Structure 1
């Protein structure tokens, strides 16, 4: 690939990203149902035809916006192995959840999905899978935990409030700290 093609690909990628950001702002303000392609195009500074050429229809654009922000979410920074006491494992998950909740991609997704009835439930919940798996292993080491899968899910619900889009609550340090303390009391 020559330098001209690289610059063209870079410009095309930037243009598409700018269009996704503009669409994100409109979806966050109006939700999926009330957003329209003309307003989105005007927000991006392009024609409506340009949006249709890149994304097809509004449904495909919405999916592209959700996918973009899901891909921008960083992977949780959890230890590779579950070792140590339960408290340190729970605190590692708590810290990773807090970092995720403050990430711009998470905030964008939350703002968009709170105003939209049209939400990819399965894709939204996927971001909790690494936490769930790590918690299952950590809780599975506790003799007092008879159902690590269920307990891991309960910890996540306590820590973040709700795993479903459209009803998200803000994750904050006090909520997560309370979940950690409750589980340390219950399972150690």
Structure 2
């Protein structure tokens, strides 16, 4: 999702009926909530935060603006919810479930592949660049994005690491720090090259990079002799 300042024309769609705000005790329509989130993700991705109004998002979702506000309160809350929803779609909760039957290296590779695919998507790269521009960096948007996206993902991953520590597979003195290190390794040079306009690596290069990143992480924190040996042999 980007933060472009160019407004986009509203997409004309008929509002769905029953657009009254949900009062206390009245259950919200989860179908409408999902439609609003999907519309927000599309609009923020195509036109950025400043270029997407609540009216336009409501029209895209086929609901009234009042319905959008009844579900999300304000545009910042909607943006944060859209970022969170995007992360959950790209990195589903099942990836962070205990699943002791799944070998640790295999689970870390699965997470690394999903995360790398998410952050190297062309729209994600464009959004990264936009969040770093002086006009956007001075706003609340980068903090909203950080808390709704990376902080939540790292928290889920830290919980997974804690469970694997309890199982004796990892030895990590500072779990939050290790979680951040893992995702920094996964992004690595390939992501930086994309951000600065360099060529995309081949699928084979990506897979080699992700495997090396996971093995380095396991060499630092894994307790299994195989992890230490694999890391030392690269």
TM range (shorter): 0.5 to 0.7
The residue that corresponds to 1:93 in the other structure is 108
1:126 pairs with 152, 160, 167, which one?
A: 152
In structure 1, runs of 5+ residues without a counterpart are 1-8, 142-146
Report if the CA contact (8 A) 1:74-1:100 is conserved. no
From the superposition, tell whether residues 148 and 122 of structure 1 become closer, same or farther in structure 2 (CA, over 3 Å).
same
Verify: 1:177 aligned to 2:218, yes or no: no
Deviations 1:105-157 (A, max 9, x none): xx7x958964555134234222123434528834428xxxxx67555643332
From the superposition, tell whether residues 160 and 38 of structure 1 become closer, same or farther in structure 2 (CA, over 3 Å).
same
Aligned residues: 164
From the superposition, tell whether residues 69 and 152 of structure 1 become closer, same or farther in structure 2 (CA, over 3 Å).
closer
The residue that corresponds to 1:140 in the other structure is 171
In structure 2, runs of 5+ residues without a counterpart are 1-25, 221-227, 230-234
CA distance in 2, matches of 1:74, 1:23: 19
Report if the CA contact (8 A) 1:139-1:152 is conserved. no
The residue that corresponds to 1:50 in the other structure is 67
From the superposition, tell whether residues 139 and 177 of structure 1 become closer, same or farther in structure 2 (CA, over 3 Å).
same
CA distance in 2, matches of 1:65, 1:134: 26
From the superposition, tell whether residues 111 and 17 of structure 1 become closer, same or farther in structure 2 (CA, over 3 Å).
farther
Taking only aligned residues, the RMSD between alpha carbons, in angstroms, comes to 4.4
Deviation at 1:27, TM superposition (A): 0.9
From the superposition, tell whether residues 77 and 56 of structure 1 become closer, same or farther in structure 2 (CA, over 3 Å).
closer
From the superposition, tell whether residues 153 and 15 of structure 1 become closer, same or farther in structure 2 (CA, over 3 Å).
closer
1:1-188 matches, within 5 Å, as 12-70=29-87, 73-75=91-93, 76-77=95-96, 79=98, 89-99=104-114, 110=124, 114=128, 117=136, 118=141, 119-124=144-149, 125-132=151-158, 134=161, 137=165, 138-140=169-171, 149=175, 153-161=180-188, 172-183=206-217, 187-188=228-229
Q: Provide the secondary structure at the position in 1 that maps to 2:67.
A: helix
CA distance in 2, matches of 1:43, 1:65: 14
CA distance in 2, matches of 1:61, 1:130: 21
In proportion to residue count, which structure has more helix? 1
